[in-house]
Amino acid sequence: MENVYLKLDNVTVGFGTTPIVSQITLELLKGEILTLIGPNGAGKSTILKTVTKNLKTLKGTVYLDGKDLGAMSNKEKAKRMSVVLTERIRPELMTCREVVALGRYPYTNFFGKLTEEDEKKVDESLTLVNALELADISFDKISDGQRQRILLAKAICQEPEIIVLDEPTSFLDIKYKMELLFLLKKLAREKGTTILMSLHEIELAAKISDKLACVKDHQILQVGSGRDILTRECITKVYDITDETYELLYGTKRDGIL
């Protein structure tokens, strides 16, 4: 049996003492992609922030490669996990190359000096996200979509075993949405990078992911493949839409989206 790389064991997440999503049990193998779907406010971002240690678990344990994530130091976590959340960082007086280079700092010495190999990783990461031409432009002078690509390059530059992304396709036009998602799939397939993310685009989520998890009503309603989950019954329940709306969106002859 393959080893579980990320495991949420009966985890409850929330803010302060207020639970948002309870009794979460999820398992993700190395190199798998799991995407959280569900309506706004369901708790997808809260789950991701708990996995990244931005929030404390209210109950249960998050395991990373068999180790209690809560007991890991930030430096140890940074060598294994990189994060792209929805909050927009606004570094002042930094070029895009310098922002991407921040991904190398878990590996640098006390003074944070980049080696020639580190600089090479920065260029490779920029090239992967089709943003090399932005390298010397100030980060605060580029568009939101370009910022998203730069932040993904920073995450890749960290050479993580797992990448956690909250709505990574926000602000991207369709061309860059597809490029970004297929890049994530390539990282998973070719480098064995585990991907945990949330997406609004459920059809894209189904195509890119090994597993989908539906978040609704303070719980994980169901976990499975896109074909298992994205059915008429599930979609109408998760998103509170009528059969008529479903038929308008996906046609009357299909029992599921896929």
Q: pLDDT-based confidence at 39, cuts 50/70/90?
A: very high
Residue 221 confidence (pLDDT) above 80: yes
Main-chain dihedrals φ then ψ at residue 220, nearest 5 degrees: -90, 110
**With 80 as the cut, is the pLDDT of residue 160 above it?**
yes
Q: Among the residues of the chain, which ranges form H helices?
A: 44-51, 74-80, 96-101, 116-128, 144-157, 174-191, 202-208, 226-229, 232-239, 243-250
Do 239 and 39 touch, CB atoms closer than 8 A? yes
Predicted confidence (pLDDT) at residue 152 exceeds the cutoff of 80: yes
Q: Say which range, 222-226, 236-240, 241-245, has the weakest mean pLDDT.
A: 241-245
Give the separation between CA 188 and CA 209, rounded to whole angstroms. Answer: 10
CA nearest neighbour of 163 among 147, 186, 138: 186
Asked if residue 150 has pLDDT above 90, the reply is yes
Domains of the chain plus CATH, in order, are 4-224 (3.40.50.300)
pTM above 0.85, yes or no: yes
Q: What is the pLDDT of residue 1?
A: 43
* SS3 label, residue 48: helix
pLDDT averaged over every residue in the chain: 90
The pLDDT tens digits of the residues spanning 41-66 come to 999 999 999 999 999 999 999 999 99
The Cα 138–Cα 148 span in angstroms is: 14
Mean pLDDT, range 118-147, rounded to an integer: 93
pLDDT at residue 208 tops 90:
yes
- Quick: pLDDT tens for 26-38: 999 999 999 999 9
Instruction: Determine contact, residues 33/195, Cβ cutoff 8 Å.
Output: yes
**Of the ranges 8-22, 78-92, 98-112, which is most confident?**
8-22
Query: Is the pLDDT score of 185 beyond 60?
Result: yes
Distance CA 212, CA 112 (A): 39
